Amino acid sequence: MIGCQTYTQAEAIAIMRHSTGQDKTYVLAQQLIAAKLNVACMNSNSSCVASLIAAADAWLCDHPVGSGVSGGSVWNQIKATHSALEKYNTGRSCAPSCDGDSVFSAQRQLD
């Protein structure tokens, strides 16, 4: 579940591999997918990242993946959350990522 949409494994992999281009919804969805996988693979206490995951999910309910959000005021609403999720996913925050090298480490778990 990403935002208010359920995705298959194949669809989640496609989102992770999608060029973000001008659509910031993909940027956030990639970090959100990685965070959810990192929490699951580490079987860790997610309290340090739970509010970030909830905020990203809520924002993606209002702005679904692929809806074409560019930079600007709409993106600025969630930009700090995106940055915090990225720090979490790369092991530079409250808990280490599964292998610590990048958001796309989570993609390898899906493959």
The predicted structure's pLDDT at residue 9? 95
pTM of the model: 0.83
What is d(CA 61, CA 19) in angstroms, rounded to the nearest whole number? 21
Beta bridge partners, 5, equal 2
Q: Please answer whether residues 4 and 64 qualify as being in contact, where contact means their C-beta atoms are separated by less than 8 angstroms.
A: yes
Beta bridge partners, 2, equal 5
Cα dihedral sign, 90-54-46-84: positive
pLDDT along the chain (111 residues), means of 10: 96 92 93 91 78 98 96 94 93 66 48 49
